Structure 1
Amino acid sequence: MTDRAERDALRRRMYGEGDLAALPVFAGGFINFGYWRDVDLAGELTTEQRVATQEALYDVVLDALATRPGDRVLEVGSGRGVGARLALRHDPSLVRGLDLEPEQVARAAAANDDPRVAFTCGAAHDMPFADASFDRLLSVEAAQHFEDVPGFAREGARVLVDGGRLALTTFFATTAAAVPELVRLVRSFARGLDLAHPVDDVLGHLRAAGFADVTATSIGEHVWRGLDRWLELGLHPNGWDRAYRRAAERGLLDYYLVTGVKPAGSGA
């Protein structure tokens, strides 16, 4: 396993100095595996379909948040800002995107033309926002990078109002016992680009930070087959790793929608 400095440097090369969203495996400015429920996987797939699956993953999260007109929305791990701007469909009063890499923040800001949306550089475990600044918090395929999940949970509770909602989606280890084999099998974990957080640990950190009604729902059936089919078509550079589906089929890994609520009057 790489050390923290090596992991930080790798992510900076991938997301900061590089532009992962420009690779054919993603497309459309997104960086996520996609939600493929409504896609016919039997034939050829188009870039337009791939982009639609990434947008659909955001729809899953935004629907889970039950965002209302006038809400203040924060996305943690906002990348190039494409997903954050999708929140405008729900008529929020403002949307803020937070990303660790300054290059990503600059890319997002350069592409943005809506005054309700702005992007800020900062860490998930040390958010540069005042207490109770937001009504809704989302994160799409970023939490697998978080070095400090308890810190993210505490900061999420701090910046949300009482009654505020959190929803995130990404891939986690199914159990702590699965982690060693998962790291051996999937290159992104072996390199330290991704961290094999056990899903029960993530839920425990959210509850410890004061969130209630914390749940994790598997949505892997709508992720892994579609992603693997897209990779099978060869539209991925440098032999992009197809081991994710194998790990999921062996019960080591799954893709989850995680939700929680900061209770009214909690002061968490």
Structure 2
Amino acid sequence: MSLLSKWKFLLTRFYWRHRYDFVFYRRLEKGAMMPWLNLKPGDRVCELGSFTGADAHRLSQRFGCTIFGLDISQRHVRLAQSFNKTQRTGFLVASAESLPFADGSFDKIYGVSVLEHFANGEHALKEAHRCLKPGGALVFTTDSFALRELLPGTQDIHRKRYHVRHYYTQPELISQLESAGFQVLHAEPVIRHWTTGFLLELGVHYNGVKLPASLLLPLLRWLEKTYGSRDLGYMQMVGARKPA
């Protein structure tokens, strides 16, 4: 393999491993989630929809926890396993609607924009409840698209391209979590200002346009916090607890 070929190969691996870190809305999502996930050394954690495993690797090393990543794509799991250089992470092909774990296996379960893809989201929440220890936390984001579209047809394009089965409202999420046995601790919209919403819509309409988070992230965080809607957003973040 030539030096140029090796360089392209390494860049491709780096991109696929850290792909979502280059996208501003993923950084906003994860920033909203982390305080409620509250990872600690020794925690046993499950990530639903682990994709390339980048988050699981980074979080396990940063917080000293063990993370098991699930994804329905064999390709994604193989990719995550190829990057796996620590005993703190593991990856397997499985569905969140039928978790292959015993009752009370985890301290924390989280997922970044995954619930909207499930055929039966309510059952996935019940499975998460089953696999959490008493007092365990479930933290996730899911697509909502509750703000008015700035570019016509965005939701239709998004639904078809990303195989979205359902868009959730905040009241709907809270109701389903409570029905599954959870105590909802916090719920907030993400991508709740028209500026961040417009940038997200551009990415949907022009597939492949991904704004590096470092360019505008401080400004976007300020707009979200200062002028964003308190209830409506393109995504919803929820933190819930299984009663002890």
TM-score in terms of structure 1 length: 0.66
- The Cα shift of 1:234 comes to 8.2
1:188 partnered with 2:158? yes
User: Residues 190, 67 of structure 1: CA spacing in aligned structure 2 closer, same or farther, 3 A cutoff?
Assistant: same
1:254 partnered with 2:234? yes
TM-score in terms of structure 2 length: 0.71
* In structure 2, distance between residues paired with 1:234 and 1:174: 21
- Corresponding residue for residue 204 of structure 1: 175
Structure 2's unaligned 5+ residue stretches are: 1-11, 211-228
* In structure 2, distance between residues paired with 1:82 and 1:62: 15
Matching residue within 41, 63, 80 for 1:90: 63
User: Helix, strand or coil: the match of 1:74?
Assistant: strand
- Corresponding residue for residue 152 of structure 1: 124
- Corresponding residue for residue 163 of structure 1: 135
- The Cα shift of 1:191 comes to 6.0
User: Residues 105, 190 of structure 1: CA spacing in aligned structure 2 closer, same or farther, 3 A cutoff?
Assistant: closer
Residue pair 1:55, 1:83 contacting (<8 A) in 2 also: no
- Corresponding residue for residue 73 of structure 1: 45
Q: Which amino acid aligns with 1:138?
A: Y
User: Helix, strand or coil: the match of 1:164?
Assistant: strand
Residue pair 2:177, 2:184 contacting (<8 A) in 1 also: no
User: Residues 191, 90 of structure 1: CA spacing in aligned structure 2 closer, same or farther, 3 A cutoff?
Assistant: closer
Of 157-166 and 196-205, the range deviating more from structure 2: 196-205
Q: Deviations over 1:45-71 (max 9, x none)?
A: xxxxx2576456434323221112111
* In structure 2, distance between residues paired with 1:185 and 1:133: 37
Higher helix share: 2
User: Helix, strand or coil: the match of 1:161?
Assistant: strand
1:114 partnered with 2:86? yes
Matching residue within 5, 17, 22 for 1:29: 17
User: Residues 154, 118 of structure 1: CA spacing in aligned structure 2 closer, same or farther, 3 A cutoff?
Assistant: same
Residue pair 2:145, 2:155 contacting (<8 A) in 1 also: no
* In structure 1, distance between residues paired with 2:172 and 2:129: 17
Identity of aligned residues (%): 26
* In structure 2, distance between residues paired with 1:85 and 1:173: 30
RMSD, matched Cα: 3.4
User: Residues 54, 145 of structure 1: CA spacing in aligned structure 2 closer, same or farther, 3 A cutoff?
Assistant: same
- The Cα shift of 1:230 comes to 6.1
